[in-house]
Amino acid sequence: MKVLGIETSCDECSVAVVEDGVSILSNIVATQIELHTPYQGVVPEIASRLHTEWISQVVQSALNEADMVVADIDAVAVTNRPGLLGSLLVGVNFAKGFAATLDVPFIGIDHIRAHLYASQIEHPLDYPYLGVLVSGGHTVICKVNGYDDIDVLGTTIDDAIGEAFDKVAKHHGFGYPGGVVIDRLAKNGDSKAFLFPGPALQKGNHPYDVSYSGLKTAVINQLDQFWDGTSAKSPENIAASFQRTAIVILMKRVRKALDDTGLTRLAVGGGVAANSLLRSEMKALTGIEVAFPSMELCTDNGAMIAGLAYRYLVDGITSDLSVTASARVTAFKKTYP
**For residue range 203-226, what is the model confidence (pLDDT) as tens digits?**
557 789 999 999 999 999 999 999
Q: Which of 118, 164, 140 is nearest to 303 (CA)?
A: 118
pLDDT of residue 282: 97
Rounded to whole angstroms, the Cα distance separating 71 from 177 reads 38
Amino acid of residue 286: T
Q: What per-residue confidence (pLDDT) applies to 291?
A: 97
Distance of CA 11 to the CA centre of its chain: 13
Nearest C-alpha neighbor of 241 from the set 225, 254, 255, 256: 225
Predicted confidence band of residue 136 (pLDDT cuts 50, 70, 90):
confident
Q: Give per-residue pLDDT as tens, 280-331.
A: 999 999 999 999 999 999 999 999 999 999 999 999 999 999 999 998 877 5
Percent of the chain with pLDDT over 70: 96
So what CATH class is 2-115+297-314? Answer: alpha beta
What pLDDT, on a 0 to 100 scale, did the predictor assign at position 206?
77
Q: Tell me, what's the pLDDT at 202?
A: 57
Cα-based distances in Å from 26 to 5, 23, 70, 302: 10, 9, 14, 9
Region(s) of the chain under CATH 3.30.420.40: 2-115+297-314, 126-291
- CA 110 vs. chain centroid, Å, equals 12
The whole-number pLDDT of residue 335 equals: 65
Q: What is the pLDDT of residue 203?
A: 54
How confident is the model at residue 39, as a pLDDT? 85
| Distance separating alpha carbons of residues 258 and 266, to the nearest angstrom | 9
Homologous superfamily of domain range 126-291: ATPase, nucleotide binding domain (3.30.420.40)
Whole-number Å distance between alpha carbons of 215 and 218: 5
End-to-end C-alpha distance for the chain, whole angstroms: 37
Once rounded to an integer, what is the mean pLDDT over residues 171-177?
Answer: 93
Collapsing DSSP to helix, strand or coil, 262 comes out as coil
Q: pLDDT, tens digit, for every residue of 184-204? A: 999 999 999 999 998 876 555
User: Quick one: pLDDT at residue 332?
Assistant: 59
Question: Would you state the pLDDT for residue 327?
Answer: 85
Asked if residue 42 has pLDDT above 80, the reply is: yes
Q: What is the pLDDT, as a whole number, of residue 95? A: 98
Give residue 198's pLDDT. Answer: 87
How would residue 41 be classed by pLDDT, with cut points 50, 70 and 90?
Answer: confident
One-letter amino acid at 297 equals L
User: How confident is the model over 94-119, as a mean pLDDT?
Assistant: 96
Q: Is the pLDDT reported for residue 76 higher than 60?
A: yes
User: Which residues lie across from 77 on neighbouring strands?
Assistant: 5, 107
Looking at residue 201, what is its pLDDT?
66
Alpha helices per DSSP H over 137-234: 161-172, 178-186, 213-221, 223-226
